[in-house]
Structures are given as structure tokens and as C-alpha cells.
């Protein structure tokens, strides 16, 4: 079976600074993979390399067996690679519904049409409302994104990516900045993702990582420090030393018991 996403020997340097070194990463269909590492380890850079925001100095990225290293961001997105951003990247002056319709319109090519009214494609609006319904956000459909609470904006961030109907989804700290009283809303959505989608999640909350992920990749200074199952990572003394610390270790144990 070809992997949903395969990253091979990926390398990127800015001058003498090597931000990504020889990274290998494979996501099978339906994978639940977490990417962890200390601040500045190059986690977001890796996502930017995979999605084509920046180009690698060397190495390849393949999506469902197709080499996409030379493709633009948009071409990759249309082939089923979606991402969310660590800091919200939303259409703040538009309504929630329009935000979702935007993703559907680009996915299906409706947005090439400059003559018919946007409202004439009822199936697009219907689908967008279905997405919102699954997130319990229909009541917010007509609210401007900039008027929503931050936690709700975070949900829109994910909803746009889901409306792309991706086969590979990269989540960059989906619950970042959300008050802990609301973070369960987002984590429930993450936990309930379609099992067919391969998911890579960057997350700092070890509770979440150990509950959600089946595989964990630890990134340190741009290189893969170690890869393995949550149990492997939890029992790896080196990982504990460089990153987890005692607190994270406890969380890992708790997470392991839940799982």
C-alpha cells in the first residue's frame, strides 16, 4: 500500500542554519501521528515544507505515491493535503458560512465561475452547513469570524481544512491559545476525525498527544530524534531528558492508562 504521505530525506537550510535535517516521515492512510519537540525544533517549518509554503533544499515529499516536491501550495491542496495554522488564518471579515464555502468552492473549482451568483449553488451551501452542523456551529453561520470568541475561531480554522475533504490533514497546535475550559471542544473534533484521513498533529499538551496519537515523532533541532509508539516514547529515557521532563512523563503515564 502506498503511504498517504511520505517524506524522504527532507533537508532545508537558510544559509548556514539547518532548520530541517534529513527528516523521514511516513503517514499511512488513517494514520494518527503526533509531532513533538521543544520550541524551535522546526515543527512548523516541517509543515511548511510538506505543504509547499517553503521548498526543501533537498529530499522529496510524496502524496499517495505521487512526488509533489515541485508542486505549488495550491496544487498540493487540490490533491488532498490540508493544514491548519498555529495562528488563525481566517477570512475575518466574512461570515463563518462564507469561510467554509470558500474552501468548498476552491476544492470543486466553482470559484472559477465569475458569472453565476455564489448563492446559486445550493449544494455548496448545504455541504458547508453540514460541516458546521457536525461542529454544532450552525447558529454561528452568519456571524462574522472576527466577532467570534477565540475558541470558536479555532473551530472554524479546523472546519475550513475539513471542508477541503483532505486525505492528509496537518494540524498545527489546534488548541493553542484556547482557554482550557473550551479546549475540549476542539480536542473532541480532533478525536472524532474521519478514520480514513491521515492526520499529523503538532501539540504541546502531552495529555492530548498520548491519548490521540498511535505514532509519535520527536523532532529536536530540525532532525528526527526518535520515532515510535506512545509507549516507546514514554519509556525512552533520552526523550524524557531532552523534552518531556517529569511532568510530561506523568502525563504520558496517565494518557497510557486512559488509552
Partner 1 sequence: MSDNKPQTPATQAGNEARLRAMDYLVRRHYFRWAEALPWLIAIALFFILPNRMTFGGQVLIMIMFALSLDLILGYAGIVTLGHAAFFGIGAYTVALASMLAGWSEPISGLIAGGLVAGLVGAIAGWFILRYRGLTLLMLTIAFAAMLQESGNLRSDITGGYDGLPGLMFDPLFGHFQYDLYGHTNYWYVLGVLAIIFYFVRRITYSPFGQALTGIRENVRRMHAIGSPVHRRLVTVYAISAAIAGIAGGLFTQTNAYVTLTVFDFDSSAKVMVMLILGGTGRLYGPFLGAAVYMILEDYLAKLSPTFWQLGIGLLLVLVVLFARRGLLGLAEDIRGYFGRKARASSTPRRLVWKPEHWKALAISALDGGIIGFVAGFATNMKQAALMLSFVTDLPTRAILFTLGGAVIAAAINAIYLLLTSRTAVEEQAS
**Number of residues engaging partner 1 in binding (CB under 8 A):** 50
- Range in contact with partner 1 (rule: CB under 8 A) among 132-140, 147-155, 196-204, 208-216: 132-140
Among the listed residues 11, 21, 121, 254, the single contact to partner 1 using CB under 8 A:
121
Site membership for partner 1, residue 190 (CB under 8 A): no
Site membership for partner 1, residue 115 (CB under 8 A): yes
By beta-carbon proximity to partner 1, the closer residue of 174 and 255 is 174
Site membership for partner 1, residue 141 (CB under 8 A): yes
Q: How far is the CB of 40 from partner 1 (least distance, A)?
A: 21
Q: Which H or E run includes 176?
A: none
- Taking residue 195's Cβ as centre, other Cβ atoms within 10 Å add up to 9
By beta-carbon proximity to partner 1, the closer residue of 77 and 198 is 77
Among the listed residues 1, 16, 122, 180, the single contact to partner 1 using CB under 8 A:
122
Site membership for partner 1, residue 197 (CB under 8 A): no
Give residues with Cβ within 8 angstroms of 255, minimum separation 6.
206, 207, 209, 210, 211, 230
Strands of 5-14's sheet in order across? 66-67, 58-63, 5-14, 17-27, 223-228, 215-220, 32-36, 198-202, 168-172, 81-83
Least Cα distance to 32 among 172, 191, 219, 184 occurs for 191
Please tell me what DSSP assigns to residue 85: -
Q: How far is the CB of 72 from partner 1 (least distance, A)?
A: 8
Cell matching residue 228 = 515510535
CB 23 within 8 A of CB 226: no
Instruction: Looking at residues 51 to 110 of the shown chain, list those that interact with partner 1 (rule: CB under 8 A).
Output: 51, 53, 72-78, 82-83, 85, 89-94, 97-98, 101-103, 105-107, 110
18: number of CA atoms within 13 Å, CB side?
A: 12
Q: How far is the CB of 52 from partner 1 (least distance, A)?
A: 8
- Taking residue 147's Cβ as centre, other Cβ atoms within 10 Å add up to 12
Q: How far is the CB of 93 from partner 1 (least distance, A)?
A: 5
Please tell me what DSSP assigns to residue 244: I
Question: Where does 164-244 have alpha helices with state H?
Answer: 180-191, 206-212, 230-234, 237-239
Cell matching residue 137 = 456551529
Residues 147 and 105: their CA atoms lie apart, in Å, by 24
Site membership for partner 1, residue 116 (CB under 8 A): yes
Among the listed residues 6, 44, 153, 164, the single contact to partner 1 using CB under 8 A:
164
Site membership for partner 1, residue 217 (CB under 8 A): no
Q: How far is the CB of 101 from partner 1 (least distance, A)?
A: 7
Binding region for partner 1 (CB under 8 A): 51, 53, 72-78, 82-83, 85, 89-94, 97-98, 101-103, 105-107, 110-122, 125-126, 129-130, 133, 138-139, 141-142, 160, 164
Amino acid at each position: 500500500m502506498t503511504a498517504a504521505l511520505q517524506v524522504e530525506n527532507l533537508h532545508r537550510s537558510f544559509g548556514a542554519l539547518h532548520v530541517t535535517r534529513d527528516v523521514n516521515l511516513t503517514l499511512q492512510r488513517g494514520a494518527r501521528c503526533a509531532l513533538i519537540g521543544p520550541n524551535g525544533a522546526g515543527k512548523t517549518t516541517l509543515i511548511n515544507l510538506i505543504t509547499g509554503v517553503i521548498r526543501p533544499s533537498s529530499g522529496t515529499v510524496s502524496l499517495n505515491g505521487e512526488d509533489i516536491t515541485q508542486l505549488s501550495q495550491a496544487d498540493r491542496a487540490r490533491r488532498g493535503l490540508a493544514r491548519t495554522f498555529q495562528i488563525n488564518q481566517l477570512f475575518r471579515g466574512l461570515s463563518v458560512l462564507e469561510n467554509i464555502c470558500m474552501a468548498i468552492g476552491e476544492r470543486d473549482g466553482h470559484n472559477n465561475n465569475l458569472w453565476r451568483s455564489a448563492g446559486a449553488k445550493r449544494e455548496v451551501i448545504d455541504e458547508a452547513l453540514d460541516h458546521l452542523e457536525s461542529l454544532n456551529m450552525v447558529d454561528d453561520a452568519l456571524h462574522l469570524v472576527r466577532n467570534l470568541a477565540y475558541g470558536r475561531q479555532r473551530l472554524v480554522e479546523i472546519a475550513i481544512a475539513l471542508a477541503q475533504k483532505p486525505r492528509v490533514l496537518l494540524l498545527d497546535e489546534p488548541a493553542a491559545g484556547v482557554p482550557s475550559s473550551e479546549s475540549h471542544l476542539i480536542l473532541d473534533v480532533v478525536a472524532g476525525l474521519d478514520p480514513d484521513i491521515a492526520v499529523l498533529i503538532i501539540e504541546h499538551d502531552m495529555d492530548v498527544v498520548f491519548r490521540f496519537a498511535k505514532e509519535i515523532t520527536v523532532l529536536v533541532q530540525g532532525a528526527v530524534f526518535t520515532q515510535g509508539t506512545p509507549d516507546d516514547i514514554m519509556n525512552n529515557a533520552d526523550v524524557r531528558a531532552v523534552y518531556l521532563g517529569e511532568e510530561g512523563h506523568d502525563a504520558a503515564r496517565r494518557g497510557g492508562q486512559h488509552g
